[in-house]
Amino acid sequence: MNDVSARPRLQLAVNGERHDIPAPAEERLSRILRDRLGLTGTKVGCDAGDCGACTVLVDGEQVCACLVAGGQVVGREVLTVEARDPVLDRLKESFLTRGAAQCGICTPGMLMAARALLESTPAPSRAQVEDALGGVLCRCTGYVKIVEAVLEAGTISEIPAAGEAVGGRLAKVDGAGKVAGTEAFGADRAPADALWLRVVRSPHDRARFTVGDLDGFLRAHPGLERILSVADVPGSNAHGVYPDLKDQQVLADGLVRHRGEAVLALVGAREAVEAIDVDRLPIDWRPETPALGLAAALAVRGGPVHEGHADNVLARGRLVKGDVEAGFAGAAAIAEGRVETAFVEHAYIEPEAGFAVRVDGAVPEIHITACTQSPYMDRDSVAGIMGLAPEQVRIIPTACGGGFGGKLDLSVQPLLAIAAWLTGRPVRCAWTRPESMAASPKRHPTRIRARLGVDGEGRMQAFDFEGDFDTGAYASWGPTVTGRVPVHATGPYRVAHVRNLTRGIYSNGPPAGAFRGFGVPQAAIAQEAALDAVAAELGLDRLEIRRRNALRAGDETSSGQVLSASCGLVACLDALAPGWQAMLARVDAANAAGGAIRHGAGIGCMWYGCGNTSMSNPSIMRVTLDAAGITLHSGAVDIGQGVNTILTQIVADALRLPAGAIAMVTGDTGLTADAGKTSASRQTFISGKAAELAALDLRRRILSQANAGADATLRLDGAALMVEEGELRRALPLDEIRLEGAGSFDPPTTALDADGQGVPYATYGFAAQIAEVSVDRELGTVKVHRIAAAHDVGRTVNPTQVEGQIQGGIAQGLGLALMEEYLPGRTENLHDYLIPTVGDMPEIEIHLIEDPEPLGPSGAKGIGEPALIPTAPAILGAIAHAIGAPITRVPALPHRVLETIRRAEQERAT
């Protein structure tokens, strides 16, 4: 008998080293690797075998380390991402230089799965690669560059010459740590003596509650140090993302408004905190009737969710131009697009995590190290909750394992801060996957109707849009959504008569906030469907009708803004036109054969304002020259999208130095200035411009110090910066010089009037995508075969990264269209909540259009959100093309597709 339970220690072989570990045999391998051996390169995304982030090799084969007990690997060889291994090294280099790592949280798992494949199959086929990676989820890349990196392990990175970094495929400047597994994410590091914090959450959608004897409970549980309740919040228990709208509780005060709302927090030794059965806590619940869904919320079922909002309406958006009724009266054809959408979860592979430390000095401070998209906003919000001055709060962002808008709101920060402040001990916390899904904000569910009237040539005359957005229990970014959507609701087209109305509705659903596109992706589905319907009525080609209506430079938008430059939609459509014709021909040929599989082609266009709507949103950047060399101090958070690399390229060219000469200090509110949030596709455009200005300022100062002319050449030569111009050669010794260049940029916008008229954004991204799908008419399943995407990005700063954004945006758009539906409580894991796997991705062809934006750095503008918006309209248009009827409820899950087919057949029969 081989009974490991008799032994208190485990002998494990990890990465060729033998370890004697004081761990019980049942402890899971993921925890042994991370907590006992410090090998935090193995990530934990779900702890349930659904995401594959913890994939390691055991005897050369991939396993989920969270599903293996330590005792099961005794006597076997465990290999992790930290291993020195020639195959793994080659893969890491390939992942780095091909942009296969964006946020980097899935990268170790992907690398290990690929390593297992290449060991047995050195030259795999694409299908073999896709199969081998099929158990590891990625939310950023759309898998395309990962598959390429495995297929063609090798290097394609360019090392651009000085002054030529913009436009080059510079490898991610912060990528080495991501592929090595050494980059620290929220859950990876904390002081050794940190206490553990676990949040107790409401299991009810709406309930009142009273808390009993917590002191007694505390005394009965050794190891538990403290139980935080609302009484422990030192400052304001109300927070929110707007200065004048703070409706969210840090800890609930007798009333919970959604399932998953925080009620108490347990603080103590990790084992003690984890062992507690939360059902035994003295909480007396009195559930009340919840308002779930838009219909119930508008009927004010169970009473208003918040006092002061008797009709549950949180915010309204409005844009009116011309006379919409007159426009329809003169229209040759009128059609409608309708859609209902669901809550959509960000499903970043890194659950929220971090730690806080109280630093007692002359003025006490609280330092919070956590994953975030918005360090300065976190700082100010936490200060309000703590009753401290903002300067007493320091936010140190960790690497962020995916954000997509979901990490703009506070998550672990306030409770960590309170716990560390009150106990005087460091406190750490990592949300579980179900907790992350229950407590973090979502994409707004919507009910939208778009009505469109065109003239005989298909030119848009009148557009009437009504959209309700379920913002859940708290405002989060709801008003931003209701404000942004009316500006964009017509799509990127010229329309004389417009009426766009939106409402944000409180319910007892999870708070809906920011998610890549702020409501515009949902609106585009209905609006593009209306355009398809009217094209069908007139017998017009769907690309052609978009081309006829496309906004061009000199045109006026529905908010009355005259676009002066950088309107590349026509160029996007022209780039796609040959592929569109070929796609239509392929679809017709395939359908001619008959059978259960029907093919279809679809097209979607979009525009998207870069930056916040009609408000100041500046970025401030500093570039320094001192003993440390040249350093860019950037408060812009890189959540995987690559802004660190983009800014490095821009700064390098402005200084006319090689990109390798630029070091960075990022994020930390103690060391960098406010660059604004990583959201609204604003960092390349706004922080990029600020960084360019800062670098130009530094260059001027350097040249002035050296008495050199504007064309002088700079060169870092060991410990000196060389300034050379003709005969002039001056060495500026780094340890004697301290120069700083500063740059700030705030895109020019104006407030919108009561009719939504004004200049809401300084520039817009434009794009068009076409999709080819097949629909199984018997099973209702949809396969997306091809997507071609054309995006006007102004100027491509880094093609690898822009492609990566587009591919990743397409993956999320595909999820939105076909499979993603968050049902509170029911799909709170990565097994029932479906995000696309590598096998679900289509072939993707990308056309980068460069219609330069005069305000942007080198002409560049944003790509993050534009990448996703046209995908769902294109796929849904293709499904409608295949089955002859539009899908009006997304995601287009198989039963909804079959329902639509059946209804269309019935309608045709009658």
Partner 1 sequence: MEYLPEFTLHRPTTIEDALAHADEGGRYLAGGTDLLVNTRRGIERPGAMVDLALVGELGGIEDTDKGGLRLGAGVRLEDIAGDARLGARYPAVAEAAAAVAGPTHRRAGTLGGNLCLDTRCLYYNQSEWWRSSNDFCLKHQGTVCHVAPKGSRCFAAYSGDVAPALLVSGAEVEIAGAEGRRRAPLGELWRDDGLDHLTLASGDLVVAVHLPAPIADLASGYEKARVRGSIDFPLAGVALSLALDDGVIHHLALALTGVNPSPRLVTGTEALIGNRLDDEAILALRDLARTQARPMRTTTIKPWYRRRVVGALTTRLARRLGA
Kindly write down the DSSP assignment for every residue of 489-533, as one continuous string: TT-SB--SEEEEEEEEEE-SSPPB---SSTTHHHHHHHHHHHHHH
**Residues contacting 331, CB < 8 A, separation 6+:** 453, 454, 455, 461, 462
Are 27 and 39 within 8 A, CB to CB?
no
Dist. CA 455–CA 418, nearest whole Å: 62
Those residues with Cβ within 8 angstroms of residue 307's Cβ, 6 or more apart along the chain or in another chain: none
Cα–Cα distance for residue pair 767/572, rounded to 1 Å: 6
Pick 63 or 335: Cβ nearer partner 1: 63
Q: What is the 3-state secondary structure (H, E, C) of 238-265?
A: EECCECCECCEECCCCCEECCCCCEEEE
Nearest approach in angstroms of CB 248 to partner 1 is 20
Is the dihedral angle over the CA atoms 578, 581, 586, 589 positive or is it negative? negative
- Closer to partner 1 by Cβ: residue 201 or 447: 201
d(C-alpha 721, C-alpha 711), whole Å? 16
Q: Which is nearer to partner 1, 329 or 596 (CB)?
A: 596
Side-chain half-sphere exposure of 329, counting CA atoms within 13 A: 4
Q: Could you tell me the smallest distance in angstroms from the CB atom of residue 87 to partner 1?
A: 18
| Closest CB to partner 1 among residues 278, 732 | 278
Given the complex with partner 1, which of 721 and 897 has the nearer CB atom?
897
278 or 565, CB closer to partner 1?
278
Closer residue to partner 1 (CB): 122 or 308 = 122
Q: Which is nearer to partner 1, 69 or 885 (CB)?
A: 69
| Closest distance of CB 896 from partner 1, Å | 9
113 vs 575, beta carbon nearer partner 1: 113
Task: Between 14 and 784, name the residue whose CB sits nearer to partner 1.
Answer: 784
- Rounded to the nearest whole angstrom, what is the least distance from the CB of residue 409 to partner 1 in the complex? 22
Between 33 and 819, CB nearer to partner 1: 819
Residue found under tokens 């004010």: 300
Of residues 354, 355, 358, the one with CA closest to residue 421: 358
| b/e 229-255 (16+ beta carbons within 10 angstroms → b) | ebebbebebebbbeeebbbbbbbbeee
**In DSSP terms, which residues pair with 286 in a beta bridge?**
208
Of 723 and 879, CB closest to partner 1: 879
Other beta carbons within 10 angstroms of residue 350's beta carbon come to 31
Binding residues for partner 1, rule: CB under 8 A, are 1-5, 24-26, 28, 47-50, 52, 55, 61-64, 67-69, 71-72, 74, 113, 131-132, 134-136, 201, 203-204, 259, 274-275, 277-279, 287, 432, 434-435, 596, 778-781, 818-819, 821, 823, 825-829, 831-832, 834, 836-840, 893-895, 898
Quote the least distance from Cβ 47 to partner 1, whole Å.
7
| Residue where the block lists tokens 């009148």 | 462
Three-state DSSP at 319 gives strand
Integer Cα distance of 762 and 760 in angstroms: 7
Contact present, 464 and 553 (Cβ < 8 Å): no
The distance of closest approach from Cβ of residue 596 to partner 1 in the complex, given in angstroms and rounded to an integer, is 8
Measured CA to CA, the distance from residue 838 to residue 169 in angstroms comes to: 24
Nearer to partner 1 by Cβ, of 479 and 824: the residue is: 824
What six digits make up the tokens of 501?
Answer: 């109305």
Which residues fall within 8 angstroms of residue 908, CB to CB, at 6 or more apart? Answer: none
CB 566 within 8 A of CB 791: no
127 beta partners = none
| Nearest-approach distance from CB 120 to partner 1, in angstroms | 11
Angle of CA points 409, 413, 414, to nearest 5°? 100
Place of tokens 């920011």: 514
Q: What angle do CA 726, 731, 732 make, to 5 degrees?
A: 130
Closest CA to 179 of 210, 160, 153: 153
Query: How many degrees, rounded to 5, is the angle at CA 640 between CA 815 and CA 624?
Result: 155
Q: Is the bond leading into 891 cis (omega within 30 degrees of zero)?
A: yes
Alpha carbon distances (Å) from 790 to 574, 586, 606, 764: 9, 20, 11, 15
**In this structure, what token pair is assigned to residue 589?**
């040929």
Minimum distance, C-beta of residue 351 to partner 1, in the bound complex (Å) = 11
CB of 264: closest distance to partner 1 in angstroms? 13
- Shortest gap between Cβ of 71 and partner 1 (angstroms)? 4
What is the sign, positive or negative, of the torsion defined by CA atoms of 482, 484, 489, 495? positive
CB of 126 to partner 1, least distance (A): 14
Q: Which is closer to partner 1, CB of 642 or CB of 815?
A: 815
Closest approach of Cβ 852 to partner 1, in Å? 40
Radius of gyration, alpha carbons of the chain = 28
Closer by beta carbon to partner 1, 26 or else 753:
26
Q: Residue 470's closest CA among 686, 294, 705? A: 294
Pairing of the two strands 629-634 and 662-666 = parallel
The single-letter DSSP state of residue 161 is P
Sequence-ordered list of residues with C-beta below 8 angstroms from that of 878, at least 6 positions apart, any chain: 600, 601, 602, 771, 772, 773, 784
> Which residue number, 244 or 277, has a Cβ lying nearer to partner 1?
277
Indicate the residue among 486 and 780 with the shorter CB distance to partner 1: 780
Beta-carbon contacts of residue 3 (< 8 Å; ≥ 6 apart): none
Nearest distance in Å: CB 74, partner 1: 8
Distance of closest approach, residue 689 Cβ to partner 1, in angstroms:
41
Supply the minimum distance, in Å, between the C-beta of residue 276 and partner 1. 9
Q: Which is nearer to partner 1, 131 or 555 (CB)?
A: 131
End-to-end distance of the chain based on CA atoms, in angstroms? 73
* Least separation in angstroms between CB 597 and partner 1: 11
Least CB distance to partner 1 at residue 348 (A): 18
Of 625, 373, 428, nearest in space to 34 by CA = 428
The least distance separating partner 1 from the CB of residue 48, rounded to whole angstroms, comes to 5
